[in-house]
Amino acid sequence: VECSSADEALAAAAAGADIVLLDNLAPQELHVAAAQVKAAYPGVTVEASGGIVLETLPQFLGPHIDVVSMGCLTHSAPALDFALRV
């Protein structure tokens, strides 16, 4: 479940979400929210996403973050024009 605050993340976990995606949070806010989710629901996977690039990645890593999504890996990928004939 995509969440933009600690309250939303806790509500999603309480409702049975297996994975809580904390989206577009500043690193400090992210770590506080992730710690709250893990304290209340240790089995929930916490994912960080939104605006994370290679240069800022270390700021988003922490003991309560299980997964980091980085759209920058695909945003600049070149396109390949090809055809498949059967």
Residue 59 located in a structural domain = yes
- CATH number of the domain that 12 lies in? 3.20.20.70
As a whole number of angstroms, the distance between CA 45 and CA 50 comes to 17
Residue 82 located in a structural domain = no
Total count of domains within the chain:
1
Residue 84 located in a structural domain = no
- 61-81 confidence digits (pLDDT tens): 999 999 999 887 677 777 788
- How many Cβ atoms from other residues are within 10 Å of residue 71's Cβ? 12
Residue 83 located in a structural domain = no
- 14-62 confidence digits (pLDDT tens): 999 999 999 999 999 999 999 999 999 999 999 999 989 889 999 999 9
pTM: 0.82
Residue 39 located in a structural domain = yes
- The distance of Cα 32 from the centroid of its chain, to the nearest Å, equals 14
Residue 86 located in a structural domain = no
DSSP 19: E
Host domain of residue 48:
2-76
**Cα atoms found within 13 Å of the Cα of residue 68, Cβ hemisphere only:** 21
Instruction: Tell me the β-bridge partners of 48.
Output: 22, 68
As a whole number of angstroms, the distance between CA 66 and CA 4 comes to 17
Task: Supply the pLDDT for residue 66.
Answer: 98
Residue 17 located in a structural domain = yes
